[in-house]
Amino acid sequence: MAVTNYDLIILGSGPAGEGAAMSAVKLGKRVAVVEEKSVVGGNCTHLGTIPSKALRHSVKEIHTFNNNPMFREIGEPRWFSFPNVLKRAYDVIGQQVASRAHYYSRNRIALYVGRGSFVDENTIEVVEKNGNVERIAARNIMIATGSRPYRPADVDFLHPRIYDSDTILRLNHTPRRIIIYGAGVIGSEYASIFSSLGVLVDLVDTRDRLLSFLDKEISDALSFHMRNQNVIIRHNEEYQKIEGHDDGVTMHLKSGKVLKGSALLWANGRTGNTSGLGLENLGLAANSRGQLEVNEFYQTAVDNIYAAGDVIGWPSLASASYDQGRFAAANISGEKTARSLSSVPAGIYTIPEISSLGKTEEELTAAAIPYEVGKAFFSRLARAQITGETAGMLKILFHRETLEILGIHCFGDQSSEIIHIGQSVMEREGERNSLHYFLNTTFNYPTMAEAYRVAALDGFNRLA
């Protein structure tokens, strides 16, 4: 069998794989990408980030129309089914695939469609859907196969009423009541989506508060708004057994509670896509969640094998995965630079959305760091009053003595956009990372960005 040689082979065409491929080819490397699906983009484009965010946008527009008194002059509130709203998401997926396919062809990256696995540390065998087998080789190989929903053995995911975060996109009806098990980012986002469509939601949280990695005030604000949308949040609960019926699902909790719904969405954890890769041929082993361990250069225990993206675990963000792929490609090309991802903002697309960066109040208190808080409530901003999106706030945490920005937390419309202004200041070094930047900068009026000046003035006044 003839073997084609490359400088770098990448398994997976999601954000990490794409970031690595584009960077490596710009650095003069001959690159091949192996993708199991017939189209590029990975789970991010087809099952995760893109469809769920496109779905959320459509639902948010419907929610705005149905709850804005001004639109009552046009007509009564409208009801939309879940499948109808989902059609827009598939339009966006098609556009994303077309763009990404163009990137690969324009950069002359070889694309192999099929299941790739290791023969040895330099050789990949690709089995195409038609059964054809090819072998390709490279000095370096990167695993960027992403992740999939974690599925416990005692839950029947073949039942037509039981879904995970991948299969929920095939939901062909609008449930009257849905049980969502797992209140992490995915569970919370889908709770917002379904509740905004008028579906009753039981959100089962195995922890004591929503998204406990967030600043507590932001987490509490999300809980309040969810409950206001008729989401029932059940903290510190674990399932005992799940029963599927013709007309719905029953979940028995260890606390003795029994929940009944038209459907169940399982959103409790993810597993790295490492099974079937032939890692045993390398002497590599994934952990219990299918994830690979890497060093600061994204190298695995085998020097020429790299890994990036969801397959290595935290932070499991599309934005971070893309950068991890880029950094790995730079290291493969001889530019040995370790890059910390501590400055990656979290973006959570609930309704309203959340974004945060840096330390929380709880972390600063535990570390005995003298800090102060500045807040800007959206309800008092002219731009928010104009758009009607008045729920939320911007919160700046800064050092009382140096005025260094320590953390920025935002809850409300456009939070994932607003956070980047604060991020650019936090990335500065020394005195340039200071509350003075927001105090002395003129922002357009009226804008949401003006929240930084309002919050800075609020915090500075507290010092006085």
Q: Could you tell me the pTM of the whole model? A: 0.93
Say if residue 300 is in the same domain as residue 394.
no
Tell me: is residue 260 an annotated ligand-binding position: no
Say if residue 302 is in the same domain as residue 243.
no
Regarding beta strands 177-181 and 263-266, do their DSSP bridges make them parallel or antiparallel, or are they unpaired?
Answer: parallel
Q: Where in the sequence is the domain holding 282, given as residue range(s)?
A: 3-149+271-332
Question: How many structural domains compose the chain?
Answer: 3
Say if residue 171 is in the same domain as residue 145.
no
Say if residue 220 is in the same domain as residue 238.
yes
Tell me: is residue 358 an annotated ligand-binding position: no
CATH number of the domain within which 126 lies: 3.50.50.60
Tell me: is residue 410 an annotated ligand-binding position: no
Say if residue 431 is in the same domain as residue 304.
no
In the numeric block, the tokens 């459907």 are attached to: 263
pLDDT of 69: 74
Tell me: is residue 35 an annotated ligand-binding position: yes
Tell me: is residue 36 an annotated ligand-binding position: yes
DSSP 172: -
pLDDT for 162-185, tens place per residue? 999 999 999 999 999 999 999 999
E strand or H helix at 138: strand 133-143
Say if residue 280 is in the same domain as residue 258.
no
Q: Are 324 and 309 in contact (CB under 8 A)?
A: yes
Q: Residues of the chain whose pLDDT is less than 70? A: 1, 72, 75, 337-342, 431
In a domain, 76, yes or no: yes
In a domain, 341, yes or no: no
In a domain, 342, yes or no: no
pLDDT for 107-163, tens place per residue? 999 999 999 999 999 999 999 988 899 999 999 999 999 999 999 999 999 999 999
Say if residue 143 is in the same domain as residue 187.
no
How far apart CA 20 and CA 311 sit, in angstroms, is 14
Say if residue 427 is in the same domain as residue 390.
yes
Say if residue 20 is in the same domain as residue 126.
yes
Regarding beta strands 31-35 and 3-11, do their DSSP bridges make them parallel or antiparallel, or are they unpaired?
Answer: parallel
Say if residue 8 is in the same domain as residue 85.
yes
Say if residue 43 is in the same domain as residue 103.
yes
Q: Are 24 and 326 in contact (CB under 8 A)?
A: no
Tell me: is residue 42 an annotated ligand-binding position: yes
Tell me: is residue 37 an annotated ligand-binding position: yes
Residue type at position 332? I
pLDDT of 342: 66
In a domain, 180, yes or no: yes
pLDDT of 338: 62
In a domain, 63, yes or no: yes
Domain boundary among 279, 297, 332: 332
Say if residue 328 is in the same domain as residue 410.
no
